[in-house]
């Protein structure tokens, strides 16, 4: 079921939403416009998270006298740096291996993958003078049934009140410590609390240093841990894949990685791995062809020797 972006409602007040050039790229720094004099409404979490990730959310009511900001009005960076040099390669590994699979799953091309990209989920905070506080940036996430671009422009962030389709899965990579912030249920701040309350179906936490992967599924209003299968992997039926750990070399780093597998099947390869597999198949085919040619040549030589012996014995081998 496809979901189209909701048109931006008209501005009904003289207040002008700031554009991207007037907003700070760093967390906690005010933008270039004066905040509205009307205080923002207090945040009220939903009574129950939306149960069906990947399906459109109901449109939120427009409260106050301002239009809802779009991705063009909101910062696309909070000024933080990547804390671990494995995070970026890990995201690339997940994306390059799953994209061909998702292209088959979505022949219309409507799906989106985010890598350390912002998800704006709190409209009240996003309309304040510190909009990035209303966003969270998973290390990796996937949203089905949405255009890969926004209004035919490359996405800068994912704004829930415009796209209105929840991510199906978000993944966080532990950079340091034991993952306390990734497992935190502190209201408005804890990552687990945010994903749980906005209704993301699956939430995975990967600790590469300790080789630990925890995956949660939303049941009712709460995340519960998923038990791994016999292969020590976690099925994601909606994507027809499993998520698990793999020790191997990628981009010259031989460490523990997070990988995708077909349900009960083979590991999904990266582009480089697919090229290597194709090259190996081509070599195998060439070797089989050479072996078949050699076998045919031996058969021919054997037949010729037999024909010679028959002629020497006065027997016509062609008779």
CA dihedral 142, 145, 150, 151 (to 10 degrees): 180
CA proximity to 97, closest of 309, 259, 214, 290: 259
Tokens representing 227 are 């038990």
Q: Rounded to the nearest 5°, which phi and psi values hold at 120?
A: -85, 120
Q: Per-residue confidence at 72, pLDDT binned at 50, 70, 90?
A: low
Mean pLDDT lowest among 111-125, 243-257, 297-311: 297-311
Q: How far apart are CA 52 and CA 265, in angstroms?
A: 26
Q: Find residue 159's DSSP bridge partners.
A: 120
Predicted pLDDT at 218: 98
DSSP symbols for 61-76: P--TTSPPP-GGGS-S
Predicted pLDDT at 131: 56
Helix (H, G, I), strand (E, B) or coil at 159: strand
- In b/e form, how buried is each residue of 179-204, taking b as 16+ CB within 10 angstroms? bebbbeeeeeebbbbbbbbbbbbbbb
More confident residue, 296 or 145: 145
Mean pLDDT lowest among 8-17, 156-165, 207-216: 8-17
Ranges 7-21, 55-69, 213-227, 277-291, most confident: 213-227
Q: How far apart are CA 146 and CA 72, in angstroms?
A: 18
Question: In this model, does residue 151 exceed pLDDT 90?
Answer: no
Q: How far apart are CA 49 and CA 57, in angstroms?
A: 10
Helix (H, G, I), strand (E, B) or coil at 238: helix
Average pLDDT, the chain: 77
Q: How far is CA 232 from CA 169, 207, 220, 258, 278, in A?
A: 19, 15, 25, 12, 28
More confident residue, 278 or 271: 271
CA dihedral 6, 10, 12, 18 (to 10 degrees): 80
Tokens representing 10 are 């008209």
Summarize pLDDT for 231-252 with one digit per residue, the tens: 999 999 999 999 999 999 998 8
Q: Find residue 202's DSSP bridge partners.
A: 169, 217
Q: Find residue 234's DSSP bridge partners.
A: 243
More confident residue, 200 or 129: 200
Q: What is the mean pLDDT of residues 30-41?
A: 37
Predicted pLDDT at 55: 57
Q: How far apart are CA 139 and CA 153, in angstroms?
A: 22
With pLDDT > 90 as the criterion, what percentage of the chain qualifies?
44
Burial class (CB in 10 A: 0-12, 13-18, 19+), 123: buried
Question: In this model, does residue 294 exceed pLDDT 80?
Answer: no
Q: How far is CA 163 from CA 109, 121, 129, 159, in A?
A: 16, 11, 23, 6
Q: Per-residue confidence at 111, pLDDT binned at 50, 70, 90?
A: very high
Q: How far apart are CA 277 and CA 269, in angstroms?
A: 9
Predicted pLDDT at 83: 53
Predicted pLDDT at 28: 31
Predicted pLDDT at 132: 63
Predicted pLDDT at 35: 38
Predicted pLDDT at 67: 56
């Amino acid at each position: 079921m496809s979901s189209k972006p909701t048109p931006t409602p008209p501005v009904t007040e003289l207040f002008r939403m700031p554009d991207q050039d007037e907003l700070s790229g760093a967390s906690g720094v005010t933008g270039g416009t004066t905040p509205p004099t009307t205080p923002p409404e207090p945040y009220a979490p939903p009574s129950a998270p939306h149960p069906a990730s990947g399906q459109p959310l109901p449109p939120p009511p427009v409260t106050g006298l301002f239009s809802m900001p779009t991705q063009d009005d909101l910062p696309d960076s909070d000024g933080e740096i990547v804390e671990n040099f494995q995070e970026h390669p890990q995201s690339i590994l997940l994306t390059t291996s799953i994209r061909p699979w998702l292209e088959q799953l979505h022949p219309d091309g409507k799906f989106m993958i985010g890598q350390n990209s912002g998800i704006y989920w709190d409209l009240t905070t996003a309309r304040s003078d510190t909009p990035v506080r209303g966003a969270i940036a998973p290390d990796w996430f996937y949203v089905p049934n949405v255009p890969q671009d926004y209004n035919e422009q490359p996405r800068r962030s994912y704004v829930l009140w415009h796209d209105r389709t929840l991510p199906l899965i978000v993944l966080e990579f532990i950079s340091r410590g034991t993952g306390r912030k990734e497992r935190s249920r502190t209201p408005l701040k804890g990552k687990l609390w945010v994903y749980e309350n906005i209704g993301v179906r699956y939430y995975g936490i990967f600790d590469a240093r300790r080789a630990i992967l925890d995956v949660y599924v939303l049941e009712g209003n709460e995340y519960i841990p998923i038990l791994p299968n016999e292969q020590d992997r976690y099925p994601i039926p909606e994507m027809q894949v499993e998520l698990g750990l793999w020790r191997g070399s990628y981009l010259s780093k031989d460490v523990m990685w997070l990988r995708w597998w077909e349900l009960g099947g083979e590991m999904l390869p990266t582009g480089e791995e697919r090229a290597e597999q194709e090259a190996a198949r081509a070599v195998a085919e060439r070797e089989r062809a050479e072996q078949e040619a050699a076998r045919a040549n031996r058969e021919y030589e054997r037949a010729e020797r037999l024909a010679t012996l028959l002629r020497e014995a006065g027997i016509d081998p062609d008779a």
